[in-house]
Amino acid sequence: METRQVRKITMSGRVSNESYITLFMIGVLVILFGVACVVVPRFYLPQNMINLLTNNWYTIIIGIGVTFLLITGNFDMSVGGVIAMTGVLSVYFCQDATAQQNTLAVGLGLPYGVAVALALLCAMGIGAINAFFIARLKVPSIIVTLGTMMIARGVAQIATNGAQRNTSLPDVFGVLGNFMIKGTSIKLAVLVMVFLIVIAFVFEKKTVAGRRTYLIGANSEAARLSGVNVTRHLTTLFIISSLLAGITGILLASEYKAGVSSRATGYEFDALVISLLGGVSIAGGFGSVLGMFVGAVILSVVTSSATGLLLSPDWQFTIKGVVTFIAIVAQRFALDRRKGLKTPRSTVKGLKTPRSTVKGLKTPRSTSEGSTMR
Amino acid sequence: MELTDNVLEIRDLVKDFPSVRAVNNVSFDVKRNTVHCLVGENGAGKSTLIKLLTGASARTSGSILLNGEAYTPHSPRDAKQKGISTLFQELNVVNQLTVAENLTLGMEDTTLGFLRKTDKINKMVNAMHSLEPSITPRQLVSTLSVAKKQIVEIAKAVASESDIIIMDEPTAAISESEIKRLFDIIKSLREKNVTVIYISHRLDEIFELGDYVTVMRDGKHIATKPVAEIKDRSELVKMMIGKTVFEQYTPKEGECKDTILQVKNLSNHKLNNVSFDVHQGEIVGFYGLVGAGKTELARAIYGVDAYEGEILFKERKLPPFPDKVIAAGIALVPEERRSQGLFTILTIRGNIPVMNMRKISRGGFINAAQERTVTLDYIEKLRIATSSTEKEAAQLSGGNQQKVVLAKCLFADADLLMLDEPTRGIDVGAKSEIYGIIRQLSQEGKSIMIFSSELPEVVNICDTIYLLYDGNLKATIRNGCAIDSEKVLHIVTGGNVTSGDGGGNVTSGDGGGNVTSGDGGGNVTSGDGGGNVTSGDGGGNVTSSEDGE
């Protein structure tokens, strides 16, 4: 008797809203891809498909941190600046200390490993500043991270006199960013991205810490009262987000063998856009890394078909903007419909919703009571 | 125009909510230029009645006459234009504007959308100065105290020629001296052709201020009387509670021995020197009206609010962090279900295990099968009405949401469970189910603290009841015999703790041992031979801990 009731409860579970949105966005991706294959010459070539998945590795890596923070209800707009800062600093730390050319060629002369480690520490320092103001002093994340975005980029500019550092670097500096898997055109950075996505996916779905990320976003006060150390968790996430941006900065600097102060300008917005495209809720508590990945591919399909159609780069922003806007609106609309035509963020107004469902619920309840009685 | 004798006439007013009739056939008159008090326990229907008067919600049936004319407000703004202003507990002033700007807010004189200086401001300011000369019009409202903000609002209502000003517990957040000043102003309003409808839980204020009083209970109108005709507090209290029947409580078998929680001299922004013990397996109730400090007490123990004093749990000092308190073995069902307890956008499965993730995980990795089993287990145990573990918590009814929050805390495996208003806003069936769960927990040796503003609730299930008033622990009652609910209400509305035998001494529950003095001067109003809160086994069992001011 009891087992039957148990089964009744489990089996009636639907696809979760999160999977629903991910599937929805995969559907959007398939349609966009289909259209692009027809319209854009040579779009269907396997090499192009691989490029679609791999070209955006840097946005996807920083997207991981940005996604998790969005799920907690916080923004991280500092990632672009951190990429630039880390790249420039790794170059500066590594440059020959005794170079006789101009000042931009003189660095600290540290071994490459040490230079990278130090640069990553500086990146995490930015994350720690974010965390201190946001998690501890409760300053809104958008304000703090816009500030640290400029501070980080400012550091990059000071260290490069507003330009770049690209001389007197040891050969080892260019290895990481240009390493390719034998016989393919897949870079190490892409492997790092895949690795990080897998880790993030496991973190999100399987771990307690991953679950806490959602709890904080869903209701941070309830999370605190349920024993989640919200401050500590947010601190960790902000530091990880900056670390991911730092890794991206190291890889990009290595690829170009240069620390460029204007590197990654606007990447924070790209990371935000792919998260939103992937269904992450800007109000927190909802979304997934997988969705973010799908969002990244959608964005890359759109950008590369624009390029393939020989549209001038000036048009790309507009096209990106329009597609993103339509996709996100459609996604919200689909979710609303699924939830029974109420706006997703009206949970406050939603006081009425549970009440209206009371009647619907009464029936199963009375039957379940009846069955347990017997 | 001839003014009617009654400024307001309420006839057969009814307001239905889906599961409850909140205002049930209420009829009474409010005389012009009087202070008319409205009293009743929590949930008596006062707030709903006020909402009907101010247009915040629409009545189901019945009629209201304002100045002899039919009155049907569509919104608070509409009500204001028709002559009824309200002073809510959450004040309606804009802190960032000046006093003068606030006075004319919403009724500024304008030309093409630009503000125009007119006489209106002067009129408003004059009205305000006649009430309180110390406020200057150019002052920012944020620099004023709560009481002065209230005065600004009153001035606004007076100057806009309101017939009636409704005041909802205006003294809840202001100091003694400010209360005196406010009362003077309220009294002076009678001469300004204003009728005041005054709501308060503090009964003394009614005697000081009121001309008439209307008592409500369970949504019904009990009586409307001139205050002068009411003998004393107890008569009022009697009307407020009626005959409450407490038959459900069954005394606990055996004594509770081991002390699990000791609170010593706990004080903070709300609490004043609170001390008590909780024993293993005991159900302890904290009863008091809104603002008595119940929630603050729970939050202090839970490590959310700062405090002075000492809290020992299992003879160890509790660290002031919720996560550590939970780890020590305490769980809290918070007061506000939706904003503090529940993750509404997550599923039931996402809600139930969160307070004890360690139990469903190994090395930080969640065991999905265990998680599901636990969720199903509690859905079954607490009979949560749902078709799926994957249902969003927001889609459940209030009672089932509360069960989810309760399940969450039960899963925490706490030895001490704190429940703040555990049955607020849920239907009778779910209520008694929750009481059943609480009793069962206590039999399993768990200690439970219930913070409630419903007397029947604490009396039905608690072994020991503490009465709170204004942050003070006023009295202790050992449950088990007929409880004199009048006395209880007398105490929690600010009355003095009375003694049993006229000697100023109140004895403690255990057979008359420790005699704690209930002095405080002249407040010994001895009851009828056994004016104790409970008439107990060989000795009254009222412990007065704090007394008077």
Q: What is the pLDDT of residue A197?
A: 96
Q: Which residue has the higher pLDDT, A122 or B188?
A: A122
- Give the number of A-B residue pairs with CB atoms closer than 8 Å: 139
Q: What is the pLDDT of residue B146?
A: 80
Instruction: Give the separation between CA B81 and CA B245, rounded to whole angstroms.
Output: 44
| Whether the Cβ atoms of residue A134 and residue A234 lie closer than 8 Å to each other | yes
Instruction: Give the separation between CA B89 and CA B16, rounded to whole angstroms.
Output: 24
**Closest CA of chain B from A141, distance in Å:** 21
For the segment B338-344, the average pLDDT, to the nearest whole number, is 90
Interface test with B, best of A225, A282, A335 (most B CBs within 10 A): A225
Is the Cα dihedral B337, B338, B343, B345 positive or negative? positive
Q: Chain B contacts of A227, Cβ < 8 Å?
A: 322-323, 326-327, 354-355, 412
Q: What is the pLDDT of residue A53?
A: 87
DSSP state of B509: T
Instruction: Give the separation between CA B197 and CA A100, rounded to whole angstroms.
Output: 87
Query: Which amino acid is residue A220, in one-letter code?
Result: S
In this complex, the residue of B339, B340, B390 whose CB is nearest that of residue A13 is B390
Q: Does the CB of A218 have a partner CB in chain B at under 8 Å?
A: yes
Residue B280's contacts (CB-CB under 8 Å, 6 or more residues apart) are: B256, B257, B258, B259, B260, B415, B445, B447
Residue A7 resides in a domain: no
- Concatenating the DSSP letter of every residue in B100-169 gives HHHHTTT---EETTEE---HHHHHHHHHHHHH-TT--TTSBGGGS-HHHHHHHHHHHHHHTT-SEEEEES
Q: What is the pLDDT of residue A357?
A: 35
Residue B513 has pLDDT above 50, yes or no: no
Average pLDDT, chain B: 80
ipTM associated with this complex: 0.81
Instruction: Give the separation between CA B386 and CA B389, rounded to whole angstroms.
Output: 7
- Nearest CA to B271 out of B313, B300, B312, B303 is that of B300
Q: What is the pLDDT of residue B481?
A: 61
Three-state secondary structure readout of chain A: CHHHHHHHHHHCCCCCHHHHHHHHHHHHHHHHHHHHHHHCCCCCCHHHHHHHHHCCHHHHHHHHHHHHHHHCCCCCCCHHHHHHHHHHHHHHHHCCCCCCCCHHHCCCCCCHHHHHHHHHHHHHHHHHHHHHHHHHCCCCHHHHHHHHHHHHHHHHHHHHCCCEECCCCCHHHHHHHHCECCCCCCEHHHHHHHHHHHHHHHHHHHEHHHHHHHHHHHCHHHHHHCCCCHHHHHHHHHHHHHHHHHHHHHHHHHHHCCEECCCCCCHHHHHHHHHHHCCCCCCCCCCCHHHHHHHHHHHHHHHHHHHHCCCCHHHHHHHHHHHHHHHHHHHHHHHHHHCCCCCCCCCCHHHHHHHHHHHHHHHHHHHHHHHHHC
Q: What is the pLDDT of residue B238?
A: 78
Q: Which residue has the higher pLDDT, B203 or A124?
A: A124
Q: Does the CB of A51 have a partner CB in chain B at under 8 Å?
A: no
Q: Do B392 and A17 touch (CB under 8 A)?
A: yes
In this complex, the residue of B355, B385, B394 whose CB is nearest that of residue A227 is B355
Domains B6-241 and B247-329+416-549 share a fold: yes
Q: Do B327 and A227 touch (CB under 8 A)?
A: yes
Q: Residue B456: enclosing H or E segment and its boundaries? A: helix B455-461
Residues forming a β-bridge with B542: B477
- Concatenating the DSSP letter of every residue in B314-347 gives TTEEPPS-HHHHHHHTEEEE-S-IIIII--TTSB
Residue A299 resides in a domain: yes
- Scanning the structure block, which residue is given the tokens 């001038």? A312
pLDDT in tens, B436-478: 889 889 888 899 999 988 787 888 888 888 999 888 888 888 8
In this complex, the residue of A222, A228, A347 whose CB is nearest that of residue B323 is A228
For the segment B178-200, the average pLDDT, to the nearest whole number, is 87
Residue A45 resides in a domain: yes
Helices A57-71, A208-218: inter-axial angle, 10-degree rounding? 60
Q: Residue B431: enclosing H or E segment and its boundaries? A: helix B428-443
Query: Which amino acid is residue B286, in one-letter code?
Result: F
Residue A292 resides in a domain: yes
Q: Does the CB of B408 have a partner CB in chain A at under 8 Å?
A: yes
Domain containing residue A270: CATH number: 1.10.3470
Residue B3 has pLDDT above 50, yes or no: yes
Query: Which amino acid is residue B518, in one-letter code?
Result: G
For the segment B246-256, the average pLDDT, to the nearest whole number, is 61
Residue B305 has pLDDT above 80, yes or no: yes
pTM for the whole structure? 0.74
Structure tokens that stand for A299 in this block: 């964005």
Q: Which residue has the higher pLDDT, B108 or B265?
A: B265
Residues 356-395 of B with CB under 8 A from A: 357-358, 361, 364-366, 368, 372, 376, 379-380, 383, 385-390, 392, 394-395
Interface test with B, best of A7, A226, A348 (most B CBs within 10 A): A226
Phi (first) and psi of residue B472, to 5 degrees: -110, 145
Lowest mean pLDDT among A92-101, B159-168, B243-252, B255-264: B243-252
Instruction: Give the separation between CA A91 and CA A106, rounded to whole angstroms.
Output: 10
Domain B247-329+416-549 top-level CATH class: alpha beta
Instruction: Give the separation between CA B460 and CA B455, rounded to whole angstroms.
Output: 8
Residue A154 resides in a domain: yes
Residue A11 resides in a domain: no
Residue A364 resides in a domain: no
Using only C-alpha atoms, what is the Rg of chain A? 24
Homologous superfamily of B6-241: P-loop containing nucleotide triphosphate hydrolases (3.40.50.300)
**Closest CA of chain B from A194, distance in Å:** 21
Q: What is the pLDDT of residue B482?
A: 60
Residues 26-45 of A with CB under 8 A from B: none
Residues 333-372 of A with CB under 8 A from B: 347, 350-351, 353-355, 357-358, 361-362, 364-365, 368-369, 372
Interface test with A, best of B17, B344, B380, B428 (most A CBs within 10 A): B344
For residue A308, what are the domain limits?
A: 16-344
Beta-strand pair B35-39/B212-217: parallel
Q: Do B394 and A219 touch (CB under 8 A)?
A: no
Q: What is the pLDDT of residue B275?
A: 93
Instruction: Give the separation between CA B487 and CA B234, rounded to whole angstroms.
Output: 8
| Whether the Cβ atoms of residue A291 and residue A280 lie closer than 8 Å to each other | yes
Q: What is the pLDDT of residue A63?
A: 97
For the segment B254-259, the average pLDDT, to the nearest whole number, is 72
What is the number of domains present in chain A? 1
| Whether the Cβ atoms of residue B416 and residue B446 lie closer than 8 Å to each other | yes
Q: What is the pLDDT of residue A231?
A: 96
pLDDT in tens, B18-65: 667 888 899 999 999 999 999 887 667 888 898 899 888 888 899 999
Decide: residue B337, CB within 10 A, 0-12 exposed, 13-18 middle, 19+ buried.
buried
Query: Which amino acid is residue A124, in one-letter code?
Result: M
Per-residue model confidence as pLDDT tens for chain A (374 residues): 344 444 455 544 567 888 888 999 999 999 999 999 998 888 888 888 888 888 899 999 999 999 999 999 999 999 999 999 999 999 999 998 887 778 888 889 999 999 999 999 999 999 999 999 999 999 999 999 999 999 999 999 999 999 999 888 999 999 999 998 888 878 999 999 999 999 999 999 999 999 999 999 999 999 999 999 999 999 999 999 999 999 999 999 999 999 999 999 999 999 999 999 999 988 889 999 999 999 999 999 988 888 888 778 788 888 888 888 888 888 888 888 877 644 444 333 333 333 333 333 333 333 333 333 33
Q: What is the pLDDT of residue B519?
A: 34
pLDDT in tens, B472-502: 888 888 876 666 677 777 787 777 765 433 3
- Nearest CA to A231 out of A74, A78, A122, A120 is that of A74
Q: Do B376 and A10 touch (CB under 8 A)?
A: yes
Distance from CA of residue A281 to its chain's centroid?
A: 12
- Nearest CA to A272 out of A43, A13, A8, A66 is that of A66
In this complex, the residue of A10, A208, A362 whose CB is nearest that of residue B366 is A208
Q: What is the pLDDT of residue A290?
A: 94
Residue A351 resides in a domain: no
Using only C-alpha atoms, what is the Rg of chain B? 26
Q: Do A218 and B343 touch (CB under 8 A)?
A: yes
**Closest CA of chain B from A329, distance in Å:** 20
Residue B381's contacts (CB-CB under 8 Å, 6 or more residues apart) are: B407
For the segment B411-425, the average pLDDT, to the nearest whole number, is 89
Render the burial of B364-398: b for 16+ CB within 10 Å, e for the rest. Answer: ebbeeeebbebbbebbeebbbbbbbbbbbbbbbbb
Q: Name the residue ranges covered by the structural domains of chain B.
A: 6-241, 247-329+416-549, 331-413
Instruction: Give the separation between CA A274 and CA A58, rounded to whole angstroms.
Output: 12
- Scanning the structure block, which residue is given the tokens 């065991």? B367
